[in-house]
Every structure is written in structure tokens, then in C-alpha cells.
Structure 1
Amino acid sequence: MDSQNLPIENLSFDDCWELLANDTVGRLAIVVDAHPEIFPVNYVVHLRNLVFRTAPGSKLWGASMERPTALEIDGYDSATEMAWSVVVRGDTEIVEDQAVKDAVDGLGLEPWQPGEKANYVRLNAKALTGRRFKVNRPDVWNTRLQDRRRASFE
């Protein structure tokens, strides 16, 4: 059976949380000035919510507005030729509790980008979806060199 005929697997909540916990960077989607913006953030999973740190600016402003937010991660395993994606939707809040800040710091939450990131933001998960699927086999003669699928066949 080729990958065109394989079903897309909907991931369980536990599978989604495991993938989120084993990753460190996602794409945060928030509304800024009435239009969507996407920012890469490094995060940790704390009590089945996501926490990231940020400096004053668009992400912090968006988080303080407590508007709907989403974070997406994805990946590809060249050994199994499987791709996956997880999306968390919810709202954001500024973390004020020092015990929570200490707990997430203990999980290894430290900024990747230079500069002070003293503000902690929690994405309270309200909806969680994920899927996994077998990717199409690439045409190694015509597929772009940077296509991740090529690693499975080279």
C-alpha cells in the first residue's frame, strides 16, 4: 500500500502532550493590531500548559490581552518516514507566581535569544489536536535537495 492510501492517524491527548514535552520550540500565533502574527518561542510543558519567557513587545502585549492563541509544533522522522503535527489552542496569561516561575525554570526554561526575558507567559490549553501520517516517497531525481524526505533514501 502506498502512502497515498494510508490513513491519517489522529493522535491521542497523551501522544500530543508527549510530543510537546519532547520538543522545545514552537510557532506561537497571536493577534496583534487586528492581524495574526507568528513568533518562534522556546517553551516547556508545565502542568499540561505551555510556558515561555519573553521581553516587552508584541508577544507580551498579545498575552496580556488574553486573546485566543495557538502554538504549533511539527516534525518528521526519516527512519519511519512519518510526519506529525500538534496544535494547542487556548488563552494566555502573564505568570506572576514566583513558585511557578521557579518550577518552569527547573524544567530548563531559559531564553534562546539574547536579552532579558523576564516575563513568563502561560498558554492555558483549551484544545489540543495532533496527527501523524506517512509521507509520500520523494522522486529523488526531482525532489528539492533541502526536502527532508530525501534523508530516508540517501
Structure 2
Amino acid sequence: MTDAHLNQVLTEQECWTRLAQTEFGRLAYHLADEVHIAPVNYAVHEDSIYFRTAEGSKLLGVAMHEDVAFEIDHVADGEEVAWSVVARGKARILEGDAARQADHLRLRPWVDNQKFNVVAITVEEVTGREYHLARPWRHIVPRDEA
């Protein structure tokens, strides 16, 4: 198998399709001269990614530094293919009508706590790759079974 079959670059449209079909990702943001990463459930609308958050480090981070990255990935047991999509852009906290419009998105907290703040990431760049996994350890026979 050639390297081209092992690592395929996804088109921008393929990246957006995967972002739209998934609900769980990770937000990378700056806070106090450190990079943090946090899981969030999200929704996609047009060229933006939306999520809700409570008061805390994510909200403070995006209020202080608008530059963020967002990542989703997929690999399942038994599958020989994995993929990853990374979006980079500017985050902003929505208020008023803009925040209320997010109620029309598939955007509800997965956990039972109050998340009233809506954040939108305007995506400036989206990239993705699909990987065909070798997983050689799955083909090695343990010594006791040999």
C-alpha cells in the first residue's frame, strides 16, 4: 500500500460534512499564557461552530483571546480507518438576539448543569485527514498462544 492510501487529505467540504455530523469535540484556547483543551458538545451553522458554556475557564479564555482551535476525530473498534478534523478561527461570546438564535440549533448541554453562555467560532481554516490504520499489534500472536 502506498503512502497516499495511508493518509488522505480531506477536502474542505468533507471536513464541514464531518463537523456537521458530529456533536462532540475539543476546544483549544489560551488562558493565562497557557493553552488549554476542553471537551464540548457543539452544533454547526453556516461557517461557524457554536457551543454553550457556564461561567469558568472556557468563557474567560475566549473573552481574553479570540484565537481558538477546535478538533473532532473518529476511530472505532474493529475499523481500520480513523479521521480527524481541525478548525481554526475566532471565538466570540454571543449576546441578545444572536444568543437567542442559537436556541434553534441542535445545541443543548449533555450534562445536567446550567450553560447559558453561547460562544460562536467563526472558522477561518478547516483541515482534515483520514488515516488507514496498520495496528500491527493486532496481528502479533502472544507468546503463550504460539
- TM class by shorter chain equals 0.7 to 0.9
The answer to whether the aligner puts 1:73 opposite 2:72 as a matched pair is yes
Counterpart of 1:150 in structure 2 is none
> Taking every aligned residue pair, what percent have the same amino acid on both sides?
38
Q: TM-score, normalised by structure 1?
A: 0.81
> Where does the alignment leave 5 or more consecutive residues of structure 2 unmatched?
142-146
Work out which of the residue numbers 124, 127, 150 in structure 1 matches 2:122: 124
Distance 2:140 2:3 in 1: 19
| Letter aligned with residue 81 of structure 2 | M
State the Cα distance separating 1:48 from its structure 2 match: 1.7
| Letter aligned with residue 88 of structure 2 | R
Counterpart of 1:96 in structure 2 is 95
State how 1:22-33 maps to structure 2 within 5 Å.
22-33=21-32
Report if the CA contact (8 A) 2:31-2:64 is conserved. no
> Where does the alignment leave 5 or more consecutive residues of structure 1 unmatched?
144-154
Counterpart of 2:84 in structure 1 is 85
Residue-by-residue CA offset, 1:120-146 (whole Å, 9 max, x unaligned): 001110111101121114433659xxx
Structure 1 window deviating more from structure 2 (12-21 vs 57-66): it is 57-66
Report if the CA contact (8 A) 2:41-2:51 is conserved. yes
State the Cα distance separating 1:110 from its structure 2 match: 0.3
Residue-by-residue CA offset, 1:94-131 (whole Å, 9 max, x unaligned): 11142x43443223200112221000001110111101
CA RMSD of superposed structures (Å) = 2.2
